[in-house]
């Protein structure tokens, strides 16, 4: 899914076309629209209408996210030209930093052991 098919401009002043966001995901992942309609408890016609709608209600995006196990809200957030780090991203960043520090300690210890063993 290319960004230019979703985002209507490059400076972020216009909201991305939400219908394209959903439609591109459906096409890319070869999702059966009838099955999606059943999962969302909507008609097939509604799913097609969502695909052409430039703006979808949060409820629709939420339900589509649950039905498809894909976070469309996060996709929109990535297109928003405002810097933001979610709590989950911050936690993962902290874990990465902790693991990198631990790895450096282990590498140092290994080099000491190799030195002792003469290898």
* Lowest-confidence segment of 18-32, 61-75, 83-97 by average pLDDT: 83-97
Q: pLDDT tens across 53-76, in order?
A: 999 999 999 999 999 999 999 898
Compute the half-sphere exposure of residue 102: CA atoms within 13 Å on the CB side of its CA. Answer: 6
Residue 71 φ then ψ, to 5° = -90, 90
pLDDT value for 89:
87
Q: pLDDT tens across 10-21, in order?
A: 566 788 899 999
Mean pLDDT of 69-91: 87
DSSP code of residue 10: S
Buried b (16+ CB within 10 A) or exposed e, 34-68: eebbeebebeeeebeebbebeebeeebbebbbebb
């Amino acid at each position: 899914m290319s960004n230019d098919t979703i985002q209507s401009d490059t400076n972020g002043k216009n909201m991305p076309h939400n219908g394209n966001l959903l439609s591109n995901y459906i096409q890319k992942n070869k999702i059966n629209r009838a099955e999606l309609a059943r999962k969302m408890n909507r008609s097939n016609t509604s799913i097609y209408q969502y695909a052409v709608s430039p703006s979808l209600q949060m409820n629709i995006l939420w339900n589509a996210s649950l039905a498809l196990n894909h976070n469309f809200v996060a996709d929109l957030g990535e297109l928003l030209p405002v810097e933001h780090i979610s709590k989950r991203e911050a936690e993962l960043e902290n874990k990465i930093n902790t693991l990198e520090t631990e790895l450096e300690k282990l590498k140092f210890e290994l080099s000491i052991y190799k030195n002792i063993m003469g290898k």
